[in-house]
Structure 1
Amino acid sequence: MLVPHNMSEALNPWAGERMVFIHTPKCGGSFVSSAFGLRYKWCPTMRWREASGHLTYRQYKKIFADRGRNLDDNILFTVIRNPWDWHVSWYHYVGRDTGGRHSGMPLEHEQIKDLSFSDYIKWLDDEDPLRSCDDYMRRQISDWILDDRGKIAVSDILRQENLHADLEGLRDRYGLRLNIPPEGARINASHPNEDYRRFYNDVDSERIARRHARDIALFDYSFD
């Protein structure tokens, strides 16, 4: 998308900073899109049929190349999230999503809708049940932003835990004209307004630590 720096560029749909948002699911994407307004909808990742969904950097790289364009000509940014908190959000989002209408995960909904959170954590490790083709919940967050060599491929990483301030930092770093929602606005509507730590016992916390070992090493997250 072309993100304007000033009013003159805001009035010209062909002017602005070239940026692409690598949207990791359940990491404040709606909050981010509202800050960029209509320009967000003009991004190739929203307009191109083959680019729809929560694709990874590597998938976008190929799609852009197939269209004769270089993804890395854009400023790439993403939002990450504490993995323990991420799974609390997934559990509530998919578990309450009757028929998987919003998540696109009807199989997962049927399997976890009646599970306790602890049983959901065990379910993540079960390889037998049928899953959707994307199977987002069983990935690591860093899967979305690594290149073929396993290196971080985005220039700017924002954290959901500090998303309002991090968006302000992104705005100021590139001199962007954004309409960031007011501080205190709800970032993730499917997330319970509770401390994620209360959902865990020691065993389940350690399961997530093992599952997200790369994320924890790369982003320095901890349970506390």
Structure 2
Amino acid sequence: MLISYTHRFLFVHIAKTGGTSIRAALRRYRWGWPYSGPLLLCDLLSQMTRPRHILGIKFPRHAKAIAAQEMLPRAFYESLFKFTVVRNPWDLQVSSYHHLRHEHPRLLDGVPSFEAFLERKLDPARGREDLLDVSQELQSDYVVDLRGNLIVDYIAHYERLEDDFTEICRRIGLSHPPLPRLRQAEGRTDYRDYYSAKARALVTRHYAADLERFGYSF
């Protein structure tokens, strides 16, 4: 999550959706108001305690919008331009698979294929407390309150990120900063190449709420 107090925006960072690039482009606007110094000091002090976001100063990188809604003053939260980026769930799982293979290969010990990866990751018996990675969670959970109401103002799509980022900057009131391409997976092909009928069905079932809310299809 990235908050700007001067430019009044809040970015809800869903994993594997290009968020690292957006953070790099907008990080310079994070602070820059009269209380930046005290907030930075409090941020450093809060790292020695839990929860770190107790004052609304330091939210986890992939915090959901509801965390900010609950922790920040309501009027301030409502005044922010709140946005996120979502991604086709089938494509996102291929990205997740390659990320784990490259960054955390031990997590895939005994996992011989992409389909086996999905079977393990999306096994209902694992439970939410036993996440293989954060992309096991629904993207839709990042943008709604406890009643399922949408609480962000704009949902960008990874598939048209350049155009949507231009619109985000227009709404914030920024000249369009460069959007770097960071942490792109190498050695992968089109996501559809990875799926058997069984693997496709696993994603369809687990991410049904995302498919409905964001309008994605295979």
Which of the five TM-score ranges fits, normalised by the shorter chain? 0.7 to 0.9
Are 1:24 and 1:78, in contact at CA under 8 Å, matched by a contact in 2?
Answer: yes
CA RMSD, 1 decimal: 2.8
Give the 3 Å change call, closer, same or farther, for CA 39–198 of structure 1 in structure 2: same
| CA shift for structure 1 position 188 | 4.2
Q: Report the counterpart of residue 8 of structure 1 in structure 2.
A: none
Q: Report the counterpart of residue 49 of structure 2 in structure 1.
A: none
Note if 1:21 corresponds to 2:18: no
Give the TM-score normalised by structure 1: 0.75
Are 2:121 and 2:132, in contact at CA under 8 Å, matched by a contact in 1?
Answer: no
Note if 1:123 corresponds to 2:129: no
| CA shift for structure 1 position 135 | 5.1
Match of 2:80 among 54, 74, 85: 74
Match of 2:60 among 48, 52, 57: 52
Deviations 1:112-164 (A, max 9, x none): 24521010111023324996579523211111111121011110111111111
Runs (5+) with no aligned partner, structure 1: 3-13, 99-108
Counterpart Cα distance in 1 of 2:76 and 2:95: 34
Match of 1:210 among 186, 205, 208: 205
Q: Report the counterpart of residue 104 of structure 1 in structure 2.
A: none
Give the match's secondary structure for 2:84. strand
Q: How many residues align?
A: 194
Note if 1:92 corresponds to 2:90: no
Identity %: 26
Give the 3 Å change call, closer, same or farther, for CA 145–215 of structure 1 in structure 2: same
Runs (5+) with no aligned partner, structure 2: 47-51, 54-58
Deviations 1:156-178 (A, max 9, x none): 11111111111112222343223
Match of 1:148 among 128, 146, 162: 146
| CA shift for structure 1 position 59 | 1.6
Give the 3 Å change call, closer, same or farther, for CA 18–86 of structure 1 in structure 2: same
Give the match's secondary structure for 1:17. coil
Give the 3 Å change call, closer, same or farther, for CA 160–191 of structure 1 in structure 2: farther
Give the 3 Å change call, closer, same or farther, for CA 54–165 of structure 1 in structure 2: same
Give the TM-score normalised by structure 2: 0.77
